[in-house]
Structures are given as C-alpha cells and as structure tokens.
Structure 1
Amino acid sequence: MYTQFNKFRVGVFTFLTMLLMVSCSKDDINEEELNLTEDATEVNAKAHGLKTPASVMYIEVNDNAMENAAAYTLPNGKPMIDIAVIFAANVNYKNASRTHVLSMNENVKRVLRNKNTTIKPLQRKGIKVLLSILGNHQAVGIANFPSRNMARKFARQVANVVRNNGLDGVDLDDEFAKYGTIGGRPAINSRSFIWLLQELRAAMPSNKIITYYRIGESTSQMTSGGKRAGQFLDYAFQPFYGSYTNISVPGLGKGKLAAAAVDVTRTAASTARSFAQRTKNDRYGAFVMYNLDGVNRESYLNGISQGLYGKKTKLTGTLKN
C-alpha cells in the first residue's frame, strides 16, 4: 500500500495519476509516463500471504489462459498456486531514442485489457499475478543498460504497467536478449542489473514482488557498488525445467530460492512429486512450474502439493482452453 501523504502530496498524486493513465494497447510504453517513486523494503512470504514453499506457475499466454491458475484448490479452499506469472512482455529497443522499451504482444495486451476476468479473479482468491519481462532477440535486455538513468526510465515504464493494471509485481528473465548480435546496441556492463533492481524498487510500492528467473548474462552482475541483488528481490528461481539444482543469489537465503523447476506438460509426474518433497526437506522457499494449460492437471498438481504441503489439490474450477 502507498504510504500516507499530507494533503498537498495527495493533491499532487491525484493530479499526476490522471495524467499518467494510458492505454496498454501501445507496443512501446512512453518512458516518461511514470515519475512518482517510493522507497521499498524486503517483505517475506508470510507478509505477501504466500505459502511456504510458495508455488509459482509461469503461464504462456500465447497458448494458455491465466484463469486456469485459479481452478485448483487445497482442502481449506485456498488456491494451490501462489504466484501466477504472465509470460511474457519483452525488452525491445527504440532506435530513435537509443533506449530500452517495454513491449507487449497482442496476447499479453489481451490479458491486461481484460484484467477483470483474467487477473482480478485470481487476486481475489489470494494469487499474486506478476508480469514477466523477457529479452526479444534485439540485443538488449536487463544486462546492458548503459547508464543508471536508462535503467530508471525502463523501470518507470514497468512500474506504470504494474500500477495501471493492478499487478502484484514483475519477474525478470534474461533469456533471448541475444546481446552483441546487432551493431550499435549497448554493450553488457557489470552494473546494469543492480541499477534496474534499485530503480524498480524505487518506482514501485513496497508491497510489489520482484522475482528473478536466474539465467543469462545478468547472473554475473549480481553484485555492484556494494549492493547485492538479493537486497531487492523477493525470490529467485532455478530456470531449467525437469531439473533440481541448488542456486545462489547474493543476499538471498534458501527461503527465497527455488531449486526445482518442472514443465507440467513434459516433466514426469513422479519427478515433480520427488522435487516437491526435496524442496520441502531442503527448506527452499519456492517451487517453480511452467506451462499450465486447459487440460485437467489435478493429479499432477496433487502430487506436488502433497510433497510441498502434505495436502491434496482438487480441480474446483472450470478450465479454459
């Protein structure tokens, strides 16, 4: 929640908010649309209302429906899934201004435009909805902001979309950037990732979640200027589906990490159950899943929830293809 403002600041906030509201139908969000910032502090899973370990589901919205994340529940009526990630918006490059820009394809835009049916019903059940930010083969991403000012401008674009669409935060994914493949694009540098994390925390309210899909060039940028990536992250995830791998992120303990990652359409159910039990036994704080579709996955998710929580998962909602 935003902190309390005095009467003058409330008036300024209201005025600026009216100016800053924009449609999400644009491919490139104007980097100047958000100029309000707020300090943030780390909050734990309990403060976010998440289970321990938190169950995380990436949903490929080019093919699948976000609504399916709310269809599976535990015996207490709470959702099996804690965090549903919209996969994915992109980091593109605007040649005219030589800046990174946030871009969204039609399927991501559709989810955001229809948030009353795609996002809010999940949130009402207690599921946090994040937007994944992903490279897009344009030689730019989270690892090559040439200056802190450039990182700040991009962070404000992201924060604007989070705020205007009532999202609970963002996930950062350094795949598919293809750094160095296009002439004239910024070079990778050792400070880019920390800059972005700092600016995202400054641009978003303190209750917003930032997660990190631990892959790509940014994995070598997790410390800079005396700052550690974990100071600004809520969770970081092992990125290779079908595997269980111990990972480290400076500043994050096991309670904020996921060693397990499964594709619910490809990873064997027995493997997923085993990974879930290992996650619990090893005291990791999250379990990552990908590719929830419109097929009944009750049995598969039940195996995971039994390992994570000792509780059954039931299909209680209507699936959407």
Structure 2
Amino acid sequence: MKKILYIMSLSFLFFSCTQEMTLPSKDASELEIASSDGVTLLNKINPSAETTLIDREGEYDFVFTSNKPAASESYLTLASRTELTNLVTEYNRHLLTTEYAILPETNLEVNAVKIEAGKSTADVKLTIKNFDKLAFGFYLVPFKVNFEGKTAIHMVKVFKDGAYSALSPNSKKAMPTLASNCVLRTEPMKMIGYIETNDWDIRNLANFVLKGSKKPVFDYIVIFAANMNYDPIKKRRYLHFNDKLEPFVKDAVRYTKPLKDRGIKLIVDILPNHQGVGFYNFQSYNEALDFVKELKMWADKLGIDGFDIDEEYANYSVLPSLPTKGNQSVFYFMRAFKDIMPDKLLTLYDYGHSLSSFSEDEDTKKKVNDFIDLNWSDYNITSGPRAGISNHKYGNLSVEGNLRSYYFSSPTVYGPTLRSRAQSNVTNCYGNFMIFNIRGTEIKPNNSGVSTAAQSLSYITQVFYGEDAEFNGKYYVGQNGL
C-alpha cells in the first residue's frame, strides 16, 4: 500500500528600528520561555503556558516579574528589531523549519512599562491589530524585554488561517440523501485522508472545505507513517518517527492546530519497518501493553487522536526469536490499546491481516468490531468488511491519489469514477471513504486560485454532502520542496 513595528504607545519604552528519534526530555519550550537572573515574562491568564498562541485580533496581558525589586524607577525595554529577527531565525533553525516569520511591525502594539522603585512586578499589554490584513501563515513575536541588565523572553505565536466552520457534535456535515433506506445511518459520511509525510504536508488536507457551509471535507487525517521498530539491546519494540517527521515532533502544535480548530482528528499510521516486528508477533498481552504505553506517551505529547493498524513490511524472518502468534497477537495489541487509551481512536486498514468476522480474543471472547473504531478497504475493493466491522464504521473502494496524473489531476476524466465510488459507499450503507496521498501539486491552487484536487473532491462531496469542495487557506510546502 501507499506504495505579530512594534509600535510603542509611549516614547519611554525603548525600541530600536535600526534519524532515530525517541521522546525528547526537552523540546522547543527551551526557546519559548527563558529567564535570566530571576526575571520572567508570563501570560497573565495562563502563567504556566510555555507559549502564547493567538489567532485573532485583540489585547493580551502579560506579567513581568523580577526576584529583586527595582533599585530606582526603571523601564522595561524591548529588544531591537534586529535582535528579534535573529531570534526568529534561531527559532526556525531549532525547529527544522523556515515557516515562522516575524510579525510585521504594523500588526503589533506593546504598552510602555514603568516599574517604580521597590516594585518587582509590572503588567505588560500586547495588542494584535490589523489582523485582517495579515497573509495566511504562522508568525512569531519573540517577546523579549530587558530590565536592569536582565532579560526575559516569552514566545508569542500568531496564526492566520483560512475560512472554515468547525465540526463538532452540535455542528455536523449534512447527511447523504442518496439511499435513504439505510435506517441505521445516524452520522454523516466520514472522509479519511492519508498523507505521505516524506513528501507532503498534512495541513493541506485540512484546508479543503465545503464551499457553502465551510465545513472541513476531511474528518480524519492520517500521518503515513510512523514505524514500529525493534531495539535489539532493550529487546523491545518502539515507535519511530523518521527525519521527515522530526519537525512535527519538535513543534506539533504548528501541525495540529489547523486540524483541531476545525474538529478534524489526527491519526498516526503504525507501519512495521523490515525489523522483524509487526502486529502478528506480540508474544503476550504484556508485551503489547508495553508498546501501547509508549504510544500513549506520544499521543499525550503530540496531541494525537488515534493510531492506525497497518500490517505491512514486518519481515518476521529477521527475528526468529519472536515467532508469529496469529490473530491472537493482534488481539493482544487491540485489547491493550483500549485498556490504556479508551478515549483514542483505533483504526484498521484492510491489508495484510487475516482477521475475519469469526476472529475473537481467546481471553475476552471479544470480536474485532469491539475494538476497532474505523475500518477501510484496500484500493478498489468492492466487498464488505472482512473483519466483521459494522457497516457504519467501514468504507470500501479506497482511492490511491499517489500517482502522477491519477484521479486528482484531471477532474473531468476521473471525477465520474470518484463519484461512482462515493455513491457505492452510500448505497451500501457504509460510513466512510478513504483517499491515500493526494499529491500537493494537485492540491496547490494554480495562478487562477483553482485547486484541481478540490474540483475532483467535489464529485465526492456532492454525493456525501450536497456541496462542492474548495481549497481555502495557506498552501504548505512539503518535505520534498513542492
């Protein structure tokens, strides 16, 4: 398979116009909040926040604190524009990106701050303005102040996004009108989009919205992929993010915010990696539990909403000491997953496994349907859910958008096929439709502002929701530079 000028309101505030990864013990927060000699600059509403993330115009309150009172009447001074620009450059370097830009001077105002003799704290007000004139993207305000030779810094991130109306339990997409005989259908059709992160950026899928309602087209976005690797020294499997995913690991909020704001769930595909471990050779429930605890650590750290079982490329012969255990091994994993993360999604890609409607956990006698939240077929498969998954959790006729000039590059040619496949899922009372890896070259709007992928997706969204799709927001360049 898947083959924010700092404009000073008072003149006395000085402004100068002239590889293998494991869970890090420290991350970008080292650059986001810093103090020197006992001074801090914190968000007044949320003083424990490592950064302040802003996505609208308004006033924001901060508190400067020193562990020593001012010897005489003093003023906070802001670092020079040059120094602030250098901080943005260093921040980008630390996070392996060039995406953060310094907020333009016309979009920010900071009040002047006087600290009276004998005082050690002061309120600082930061105002974001002219937000409607900002281009889409992420901006950085390295909020750095100096006081009696001491320095405090707090990173403020400003995010300007495209237009959307978020999904929620009280705000859903429309139900399909086709095949109203599906009496058990209680939810709108769900759209699942995988992204090959070695090439493309997951956020682009979030910017597909329905033209009228502005609801997101995709309900779930799947990162393809993190790997199930094996540590021969510790003799345990672990989750591995390759170098292309390192920016996500270092600064997950930049990737997850556009999704979470829209109500989209983020799932990480777990793909074996030719190292002799996969979903079929967990030797016991406890071994599966150990791996799932690591998954939970990553989910909590990065804001992941679920994980996808993708049984490929295990190469079990590499580790004869861990023989395969049949379907019971998969049940060990599924049971451990729901025991540790009952609030997280567990999904299943129908490929490489031998689970069926007859399969059951030998300990609990539960079936696959008791553990799996969503399931979709391999490409072009028309048959129903072979693992006994309920129809409302299932989707067939999955589409590979990975190939050049395939499905999403020529809407008039391939659109009817996409529409037919969408109609098939509705007619058969299935609940979802999976698309793997739409190429960024088809997603990116052309000089006329038209996304051919959006045109193609419209053949699907018209069937599911009665609306066309559009690309609305910033296009994010992928790891391949396109």
Structure 2-normalised TM-score? 0.54
Larger radius of gyration between Structure 1 and Structure 2: 2
> Is this contact kept in 2: 1:142–1:218, CA < 8 A?
no
> Is this contact kept in 2: 1:61–1:108, CA < 8 A?
yes
Q: For 1:56 and 1:122, how far apart are their aligned partners in 2?
A: 13
> Is this contact kept in 2: 1:258–1:286, CA < 8 A?
yes
Matched, 1:244 2:382: yes
SS in 1 for 2:416: helix
Q: Which one has more relative contact order, counting CA pairs under 8 Å at least 6 apart?
A: 1
Deviations 1:55-109 (A, max 9, x none): 0000000000011011110121110010000110111111123222211101223
Q: For 1:47 and 1:275, how far apart are their aligned partners in 2?
A: 28
How large is the RMSD of aligned CA atoms in angstroms? Answer: 2.4
SS in 2 for 1:175: coil
Gaps of at least 5 residues in structure 2 are: 1-18, 25-167, 174-186, 408-413, 443-450, 478-482
Question: What is the match of residue 316 of structure 1?
Answer: 472
Q: For 1:46 and 1:285, how far apart are their aligned partners in 2?
A: 16
Q: For 1:153 and 1:174, how far apart are their aligned partners in 2?
A: 19
Question: What is the match of residue 123 of structure 1?
Answer: 260
The farther-off stretch of 252-261 and 306-315 is 306-315
1:215-226 pair list within 5 angstroms: 215-219=351-355, 222-225=359-362, 226=365
Question: What is the match of residue 70 of structure 1?
Answer: 206
> Is this contact kept in 1: 2:283–2:322, CA < 8 A?
no
Q: For 2:280 and 2:345, how far apart are their aligned partners in 1?
A: 20
Identical aligned residues as a percent: 28
> Is this contact kept in 2: 1:82–1:126, CA < 8 A?
yes
The farther-off stretch of 226-235 and 260-269 is 260-269
- Aligned AA (1:228): K
Question: What is the match of residue 462 of structure 2?
Answer: 306
SS in 2 for 1:145: coil
Matched, 1:229 2:368: yes
Shift of 1:172: 1.1
Q: For 1:152 and 1:219, how far apart are their aligned partners in 2?
A: 20
Higher relative strand content: 2
Question: What is the match of residue 416 of structure 2?
Answer: 270
Deviations 1:253-309 (A, max 9, x none): 100111120023434332221101111111101100011232231111111111222
1:60-139 pair list within 5 angstroms: 60-74=196-210, 75-139=212-276
SS in 2 for 1:314: strand
Question: What is the match of residue 12 of structure 1?
Answer: none
Q: CA distance change for structure 1 residues 311 and 237 in 2, over 3 Å: closer, same or farther?
A: same
Matched, 1:284 2:422: no
Q: For 1:292 and 1:306, how far apart are their aligned partners in 2?
A: 19
1:29-48 pair list within 5 angstroms: none
Q: CA distance change for structure 1 residues 303 and 285 in 2, over 3 Å: closer, same or farther?
A: same
Matched, 1:59 2:53: no
SS in 1 for 2:476: coil
Report the number of matched residues: 280
Q: CA distance change for structure 1 residues 69 and 112 in 2, over 3 Å: closer, same or farther?
A: farther
Shift of 1:310: 2.0
Higher relative helix content: 1
Q: For 1:234 and 1:131, how far apart are their aligned partners in 2?
A: 14
Shift of 1:187: 2.5
Gaps of at least 5 residues in structure 1 are: 1-24, 31-44
> Is this contact kept in 1: 2:20–2:242, CA < 8 A?
no
Q: For 1:137 and 1:47, how far apart are their aligned partners in 2?
A: 44
